[in-house]
Structure 1
Amino acid sequence: MRDTDVDRYLERLQLAAPRVADADALVRLQHAHLLNVPFENLSIHWAEPMALSVDHGFRKIVDARRGGFCYECNGLFAALLQALGFPTTLLSARVVRSDGSLGPEFDHLVLLVALETPWLVDVGFGHSFRTPMPLVDGRVQPEPGGDHRLVHADGRWILEGGTSEGAWSARFTFETTPRRLEAFRGMFEFHRDSPDSHFHRAPLATIATAGGRTTLSGRRLIRTTLDGHRAEEDVAEDDVPPVLAREFGIVRGRQSSPAR
């Protein structure tokens, strides 16, 4: 990623370049990404071209000021982190389904940043941990909106989120084997193209806010506060574009630059 691209990406995140590639800077970068770049699957429902590449991610997320799903958001964020001096590795994760079964390998893309302690970084999972998590077995990370922890078992790490009942719920599991972006192509194309992918069920955009989270699922606008209060309202079809623009900064058809 060129210096000019780094500057434009940081402007998108409303963040100054860190002086040092350390844990504090990593925390600021993930927070800024989650607050400024939505998790969304709208390209699938709008039949927009989608490619598994950093160049595509840059044109979409930075130039067109859109969001994306994990392959786009985390794939591009990895390139930014590497350009800023953070040793960053792509990892394959298997998502835990509602029935407790595991999705396939490469179902989710997450990042490992190797500072003095390795850190799990993720800006492409929607509602999840806001602060990068050190790879420490069993350490609870308290966060507004829900605690998280990592558990190591049988050679794999498991990300768990706390429930309102005081229990833990597994979100995804991963190994620390380094991967190349190209290795995710099969699952990227499945989620992009197959009606069997959950991303094809309904248009979705969701973004973290200072006070909680805002989500548009289909035509249902949902606001959730950090203390768990939830408010929902239906959105008329004609009002969807202004809601996307106002709440997520998403404008359909906004032009990105030609290939860099």
Structure 2
Amino acid sequence: MFVAVVPIKWAASPWIVSSFLSVNGAELIQASGEYFTTLLACALSMYDRLWGIRWQQDPGMDVGKYLVRIGYRGSRRPSLENLMEIHSCHVLKVPFGSLAIHCGEDIVLELPTLYRKVVDQRREGFCYELNGLFSWLLGQLGYTGVSLLPAQVYSPETQRFGPPREHLALLVELEERRWLCDVAYGKGFRRPLILEAGKEQRQESGTYTLTEDQGTWYVRRSIINGDSAQMCAKENTLYKFTLASQRLEDFKAMCLYQQTSPRSLFFSKSLCCLHLPGSLITLTGRRLTITQFTPSGDREKSVTMELEEERIPQVLREQFGIMLSNKLVPKDQDIMQPSTHY
């Protein structure tokens, strides 16, 4: 007899679970402190027929392996404290970047494919990949109020916002508050930000403030740049977003745009960025930038060096933990000006 073991959090509602129990004789069991529903295979097909929901869980996608990938060893119980730690671990372990585009690899927004790349192959990813996969992880851990949000990045290079859905961020409703999550942004925040307009939220990588104007939210970062001899206070708008919940497939068109348009940062530059305790390392083309943060998060200082192309694979391996299977063609071109104001 074939038996399928399904986490109870996948069930759509308690009455669906109850229906399964009465029809199929399955029983609830408790293992390792987490509840599971044991269902016969026929129940899965009946679930599909009655509610039109396809069984999409890939057997290769394992929550435990994902948590090992990001170096998280804490409790899996949904809580604000655990969310903060999981978010921080993700940012400190998984690089953000676009190397795949410049290795001749297509980026496909399918969760099993993203999992194999980020977890199994220990690769980098950009926002659709990392935040899309992170939303899956949170769902599996029992965080029920997770939404995918459409965002538009402000480019200091073009001094304009990009097109709609240029960026993907996450909103998590937890403990009667709403939290902005984003594990896929270069100089972004390391821990979730409370969705509260005007509140300064200081972290190791800077002070972040959210503002709101007629339903559009803005993420701003401020920090003092330079040493004591030459300091400059900077406040940058990182991106704007709305609270209109999206599906991952809603970003497919923009995912293709990011891979093919000269107006895209990721097409124009081979980029890889990783947060580290006290610092941030960024590889753009052949330029390696190391940014140091003070413990208080009030200032930063950056040093940039030019690399010989043959050194790049070694730097990726030693500094970012990435081993490429295809040859990387470094690229660092100017971004073409957007055709319109968004």
Give the TM interval when normalised to the shorter protein.
over 0.9
Select the structure of larger CA radius of gyration: 2
Match of 1:194 in 2: 261
Q: Tell me which amino acid in the other structure corresponds to 2:162.
A: G
Kept after mapping to 2: 8 A contact 1:91/1:111: yes
Aligned to 2:93: 36
Secondary structure of the equivalent of 1:8?
helix
Give the count of matched residue pairs.
254
Q: Please, which of 203, 207, 212 is the counterpart of residue 152 of structure 1?
A: 212
The structural deviation recorded for 1:153 is 1.2
Task: Give the residue type in structure 1 aligned to 2:249.
Answer: E
CA distance 1:61–1:153, change in 2 (3 Å): same
Write the deviation string for residues 201-246 of structure 1: whole angstroms up to 9, x where unpaired. Answer: 2211110000210111111111110131222222111111111000
For 1:139 and 1:196, the matched residues in 2 are separated by 33
After superposition, what is the alpha-carbon deviation per residue over 1:142-175, rounded to whole angstroms, capped at 9, x for unaligned?
Answer: 1123100111111111111114355632211111
* Aligned residue number for residue 323 of structure 2: 251
My pick for the range that moved more, 41-50 or 92-101, is: 92-101
Deviations 1:167-195 (A, max 9, x none): 63221111111100011111101001223
Give unmatched runs, 5+ long, in structure 2: 1-56, 225-231, 295-299, 327-342
Q: Partner of 2:203: helix, strand, or coil?
A: coil
Q: 2:114 aligned with 1:57, yes or no?
A: yes
Q: What secondary structure is seen at the aligned counterpart in 1 of 2:237?
A: strand
* Map 1:129-208 → 2, pairs under 5 A: 129-164=189-224, 165-166=232-233, 168-208=235-275
> Letter of the aligned partner of 1:102 in structure 2?
F
Structure 1's unaligned 5+ residue stretches are 255-260
Residue of 175, 185, 188 corresponding to 1:128: 188
Given residue 293 of structure 2, which amino acid in structure 1 is its aligned partner? Answer: L
Change in 2 beyond 3 A, CA 1:41/1:183:
same
Give a deviation string over 1:4-25, Cα, whole Å, max 9, x none.
6101100101112524211111
2:307 aligned partner? 235
Paired letter, 1:88: V
Instruction: Specify the code of the residue in structure 2 equivalent to 1:121.
Output: C
Tell me the C-alpha RMSD between the 2 structures: 1.7
- TM-score under structure 1 normalisation? 0.92
Letter in 1 for 2:131: N
Q: Is the Cα–Cα contact under 8 Å of residues 150 and 168 in structure 2 kept in the other structure?
A: yes
> 2:204·2:278 contact (CA, 8 Å) conserved in 1?
no
Equivalent residue for 1:95, pick from 147, 153, 161: 153
SS of the equivalent of 2:280 reads: strand
**What residue in structure 2 maps to residue 108 of structure 1?**
167
- Distance in 2, matches of 1:64 and 1:6, equals 15
> Any conservation in 2 of the 1:10–1:17 contact (CA below 8 Å)?
no
Per chain length, whose mean CA-contact separation is higher, i.e. which structure has more relative contact order (CA < 8 Å, sep 6+)?
1
For the residue of structure 2 that corresponds to 1:178, the secondary structure is: coil
TM-score, with structure 2 as normaliser: 0.71
